[in-house]
Amino acid sequence: MNTSLFFLAVVAAVAADKIPDFVVPGKCPVVDEKSLFDEQIPNHPKYAGVWYEIALTNNPYQLLKQCVRNEYSFDGNKFIAKSTGINADGNLMKRNGQILPMPLGDPHLSVDYEGSWIAPYVILDTDYENFSCIYSCTEYNFGYYSDFSFIFSRSPSLSDQYLRRCEAAFKEIGVDVSRFAKTVQGSDCPYETQKSL
């Protein structure tokens, strides 16, 4: 339902020549999703746990702006997701969702948070213990697409070697890494309070 509404909103915006700035002309890059997914499926239990958002590209659907902490628990089929952080108003916020196999059988996961629409969740690279590089791209009619990228870490900071691995993964598919903005993390973040939300 949310996907249909989003699609209709995009079509209406295109028809009115008011295309949101995150919807751009072109197509999603070619990614060997099947090979990645086949390699990752047996490791899904290792992907569970806490992930901190280190950086992301412009994403109007990411309502958490600072101190973003994601908790994923794996039930054997999907991840139950709880994301906490500070929103644009400076208030603590919690978002619930799930990360699960694509309903139509595409070879990657999908992310589905309340108040948003289901979108692809492609893990371009991860070592499961330190970092994860996530890409999401959706194509629309009339030759437009939108894409969002994230860099996650198991701790509130990420060493340069892992950051470079993510940058390489994004560059390999043509994502301009200058689009990334760092997410504020660190000692000023109320992580202990976030755990109890």
**Where along the chain do its domains lie?**
23-196
Tens-digit pLDDT profile for residues 46-84: 999 999 999 999 999 999 999 999 999 999 999 999 999
Task: Give tens-digit pLDDT for 94-131.
Answer: 999 999 999 888 999 999 999 888 999 999 999 999 99
Question: What average pLDDT does the chain have?
Answer: 92
Cβ-contact 111, 138 below 8 angstroms: no
- Look up tokens 């390489």; give the residue: 168
User: Tens digit of pLDDT for each residue in 76-89?
Assistant: 999 999 999 999 99
Domain at 23-196: CATH code: 2.40.128.20
Running DSSP on this structure, what letter comes out for residue 142?
G
Burial of 167 (0-12, 13-18, 19+ CB in 10 A): middle
Place 17 in a pLDDT band, splitting at 50, 70 and 90.
low
Confidence check: pLDDT of 39 > 50:
yes
Compute CA distances 109 → 49, 116, 147, whole Å. Answer: 17, 16, 15
